[in-house]
Amino acid sequence: MYAEPLSTSRLDLVPLLPEHAVEMAAVLSDPALHTFIGGTPLDRQALRARYERLVAGSPDPAVSWCNWVLRLRAEDRLIGTVQATVDTPAAQASVAWVVGTPWQGHGYAAEAARGLVDWLSRQPSIGTVVAHIHPAHLASAAVARAAGLQPTEEEYDGETRWRLRR
């Protein structure tokens, strides 16, 4: 499975390329974005190397890495990312999202996550969509809920597993 261009009312979800690292390094530069996921912002070179690995794909042929950058059409600029790790044998996609700090609070993450989950729901090989969210990350929980996922009682690495079954 491969990322393909997607559109929502305000966003274009553009399949990730290493060249996006130049603009995305600035979008993802706020250390506050790492409060719940850990780590620190990557510089352009490190982000490009990461994007090159992601674009190369999973070493496991049964797993697909689908990654998009979010282009806000009104400003013609990148504002974040969404991703899906698709495990074909498990018929499951694990999703995640991040929107740069200046664009948070405008519904872009929810819009992008809904677009991603809608696309995944049209893929015949996917029966379940999951996300792992820190219990204190209320904004991310709201995004998951807007995309149709529901919290479960399951935990994974201290995060709550959210799920949507087709």
Q: What is the pLDDT of residues 35-89, one digit of tens each?
A: 888 889 999 999 999 999 999 999 999 999 999 999 999 999 999 999 999 999 8
> 71 near 78, Cβ under 8 Å?
yes
Of the candidates 107, 109, 108, 86, which has an alpha carbon nearest to the alpha carbon of residue 97? Answer: 109
Q: How confident is the model at residue 131 (pLDDT cuts 50, 70, 90)?
A: very high
Q: What's the number of CA atoms in the CB half-sphere (13 Å) around residue 109?
A: 19
Q: Tell me, yes or no, if the pTM score tops 0.85.
A: yes
State the average pLDDT over residues 108-120: 98
* Cα 103 to Cα 143: distance, rounded to the nearest angstrom: 14
| Model pLDDT, residue 36 | 87
Task: Locate 75 and state its tokens.
Answer: 């400003």
State the average pLDDT over residues 124-131: 95
What DSSP state is assigned to residue 90?
Answer: T
Residue 166 has pLDDT above 90, yes or no: no
